[in-house]
Amino acid sequence: MLKPGATIGILGGGQLGRMLSVAASRLGLKCHIYEPGAGAPAGQVAERIFTAPYGDTGCLRAFAEGVDVITYEFENIPTAALDLLESLRPIRPGRHALAISQDRILEKSFLNEIGLTTAPWAEVTDAASLEAAIASIGAPSILKTTRLGYDGKGQARIMTPEDAPAALAAMGGATAVLEGFVDFSAEISVIAARGLDGAVACYDPGENVHRAGILHTTTVPAKIPPSLRSDAVLIAARILNALNYVGVLGVELFVTPGGLLVNEIAPRVHNSGHWTQAGCAVDQFEQHIRAIAGWPLGDGSRYADVEMLNLIGADVARVPEFARAKNTQIHLYGKAEAKPGRKMGHVNRVL
């Protein structure tokens, strides 16, 4: 159990790092941020920020040597940087979870191997393998790069086999995966945590609505029967245990007539878990810090119904309205400019 006064290193200085740093402060822990980009939101509430590219081994080393444990707020950290950091300090969650979540094919293979259902999928490296994949999975389906994709980027829909060449071109030569469309009635998320001692805790599943490929709202409780609620929690626990995971993990699930399908996992705090700031004694950010710092997991029981609404781009102009609203918590990320599609903040409304 890291003592108050210890320091946590966070790779990535965006809003997740920002809210992790604030949560760590409640436990008397300091945070150092490593972020290549200038003006990082997390730097405004951290003891120290290292602004340098991931290839700067001197800066990486100085960062690692100043902290007790390293975590991250996003998956796509260069492997060489991780190799160096791991030689100096523990990285939690560990490399295995990170490697799996960085690669859609590894991720789907892992999920299927531990007995979980995903959408039908096939690896695509060229026109021939795409043709074979469409023949097996059918259309409509969706082609995605295996790496570096998020919030709808690096994806192309295939409505008919004639869309195949354009979709393949959109992958830019990268290995891709073709996924069958899933007939789902809802998307839900489970935010789950596993401690250094192997204890597991799950937040109540939330129901997600996306707009233009970006999360729009998460509402708890999700409108699903108790049996699916249990299934969702068991799926999350199976993933955490199979990965010998330490920290918070987000699991996105599709609700289908045949039960739950795993859409994807994120080895970090997750946008669909922001509601926990308004509905639980210990939110997902503090839960993650507790886990990686070797503290006992906290009480994540939900004591309120909550709707989390993302403020994307120009939505941030609605802040004066939310500032006057009842039962409403505002969380802004300290980003200078409201670009289209950029996550500027969120509001949690207790229902």
Query: Based on CB atoms, which residue is closest to a copy of itself, 215 or 347?
Result: 347
Whole-number minimum distance, CB 40 to a copy of itself, in Å?
Answer: 11
Q: State yes or no: residue 345 binds a copy of itself (CB under 8 A).
A: yes
Q: Is 326 annotated as a binding residue?
A: no
Q: Is 210 annotated as a binding residue?
A: yes
Angle at CA 156, nearest 5°, toward 161 and 335? 170
Of the residues 135, 159, 169, 281, which one makes contact with a copy of itself according to CB under 8 A: 281
d(CA 53, CA 59): 9
Query: Based on CB atoms, which residue is closest to a copy of itself, 125 or 329?
Result: 329
Q: State yes or no: residue 246 binds a copy of itself (CB under 8 A).
A: no
d(CA 287, CA 268): 11
- Phi, psi of 91, rounded to the nearest 5 degrees: -110, 125
8-state DSSP, 126: S
Positions in 299-338 near a copy of itself (CB under 8 A): 299, 301, 303-304, 316, 319-320, 323-336
For residue 166, give Cα distances in angstroms to 171, 179, 304.
9, 16, 47
- Sorted by sequence, the CB contacts under 8 Å of residue 283 that are 6+ apart come out as 23, 273, 276, 277, 300
Q: How many CB atoms lie within 10 A of CB 340?
A: 8
Q: Is 154 annotated as a binding residue?
A: yes
The single-letter code of the amino acid at 198 is G
Binding to a copy of itself by CB under 8 A, coded x per residue (else -) over 94-113, reads --------------------
Strand partners, 253: 188, 262
Identify whether the C-beta of residue 297 lies closer than 8 Å to the C-beta of residue 199: yes
Query: Based on CB atoms, which residue is closest to a copy of itself, 172 or 320?
Result: 320
Binding to a copy of itself by CB under 8 A, coded x per residue (else -) over 47-86, reads x---------------------------------------
Identify whether the C-beta of residue 196 lies closer than 8 Å to the C-beta of residue 248: no
Identify whether the C-beta of residue 252 lies closer than 8 Å to the C-beta of residue 264: yes
Q: State yes or no: residue 279 binds a copy of itself (CB under 8 A).
A: no
Q: Is 102 annotated as a binding residue?
A: no
Identify whether the C-beta of residue 347 lies closer than 8 Å to the C-beta of residue 329: yes
Binding segment (CB under 8 A) for a copy of itself, from list 14-22, 80-88, 227-235, 249-257: 14-22
Which residues would be at the binding site for a copy of itself (CB under 8 A)? Answer: 1, 4-5, 18, 21-22, 25-28, 30-31, 43-47, 278, 281-282, 290, 295-296, 298-299, 301, 303-304, 316, 319-320, 323-336, 345, 350
Binding residues for ATP, as ranges, are 104, 144, 149-155, 179-182, 187, 210, 263-264
